Each structure stands twice: as C-alpha cells, then as structure tokens.
C-alpha cells in the first residue's frame, strides 16, 4: 500500500468520513471489500482458510497503516479486518445531531487565513461535504433537489464570506 498510501488521508478521529470513503474505494479497488462488508466469512475448510487469512491480513495492514499510531492499540484485541472496521465505525462515525452541530461550528469558524485559495477551497469543501451528506441523508427524495439548491447557495456564500480581504471584489461579482 506504500505507493497508494499517499492518496489516502490518515484517519485521526476527526476526519472519519473522508478517511472511510477513501479507504473503502482503495479496498474495493483491490477486490477485498468483502472482508469489511461482512460478505466474506471465515471459511471452515482449512485449505481455504489460509488464503482467506492472507487476504484479511492485507486489509488489516492497510487499515493499521492508514490510522494514527495512537489508535492502533485499540484494535490489537481484534482478529479480523471486519471487527476492526466495525469498531472504528462505532467509535468515529457520528450520524447524529452532535456531529451536525460540530460541523456547523467548524464551518462557521473556518477562514482562509494564510492558506492559498486552493488549500482553503479544498478544506472548505471537505467540511461542507461532510455536513451536506449528513443533512441530506435525512431529506425525503421528493424534496432533495430543493434542499440541494439551498445548500449550494449557502455553500457559495459561506465560502466567499470567509475569503481574505484581497478577494473582496470576488464577493460582489
């Protein structure tokens, strides 16, 4: 995973959503997602077991190398990638009002500061993507288009408001 590793953000506890998406795509690309989604059960046949364990160990090693070192000890007692994956999801996935509140606070406090426009935009989009995904997941299908339109306008406004003063002319164009 060393060459692919550079494209997967390291999970630090606060960026679970981004990390989970990137890690899921990576493992799917390696055709081993079934070790995390529960569809690949530990085989009873000893011959199949060896191959299954080797594949599971690959997923475990990728998982462990994509999280902060202080998190690794929490996973030592688990013997499969699926069990580790489930624990991380249980601890860090927040699909609730506390997570929504935290994202609203983070978006409200996010400023360009000394970041380049590209860095600022990327960071802003990451926060906004997590927030809109959380909010829009609870919207009925019939109303989703309207909610997305409102969110896109709000996203644009939030982004422009927090640019450095030298971008003042962009705010009014």
- Mind listing the pLDDT tens digit for each residue in 40-98? 999 999 999 999 999 999 999 999 999 999 999 889 999 999 999 999 988 887 666 77
pLDDT band at 2 (very low <50, low <70, confident <90, very high): very low
pLDDT at 75: 93
Full-model pTM: 0.62
Q: Is 46 exposed, middle or buried (0-12, 13-18, 19+ CB in 10 A)?
A: exposed
pLDDT at 147: 84
Query: What does the mean pLDDT of the chain come to?
Result: 86
The share of the chain scoring above pLDDT 90, in percent, equals: 46
The per-residue pLDDT for range 144-169, each reduced to its tens digit, is 888 888 888 888 888 888 787 777 66
């Amino acid at each position: 995973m060393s060459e692919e590793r550079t494209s997967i953000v390291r999970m630090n506890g606060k960026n679970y959503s981004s990390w989970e998406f990137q890690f899921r795509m990576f493992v799917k690309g390696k055709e081993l997602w079934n070790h995390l989604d529960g569809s690949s059960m530990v085989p009873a046949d000893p011959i199949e077991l060896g191959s299954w364990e080797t594949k599971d160990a690959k997923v475990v090693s990728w998982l462990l190398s994509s999280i902060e070192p202080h998190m690794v000890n929490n996973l030592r007692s688990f013997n499969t990638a699926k069990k580790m994956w489930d624990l991380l999801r249980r601890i860090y996935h927040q699909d609730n009002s506390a997570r929504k509140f935290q994202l609203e606070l983070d978006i409200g406090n996010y400023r360009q500061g000394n970041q380049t426009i590209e860095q600022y935009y990327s960071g802003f989009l990451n926060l906004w993507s997590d927030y809109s995904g959380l909010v829009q997941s609870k919207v009925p299908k019939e109303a989703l288009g309207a909610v997305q339109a409102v969110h896109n306008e709000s996203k644009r406004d939030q982004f422009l408001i927090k640019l450095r003063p030298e971008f003042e002319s962009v705010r009014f164009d």
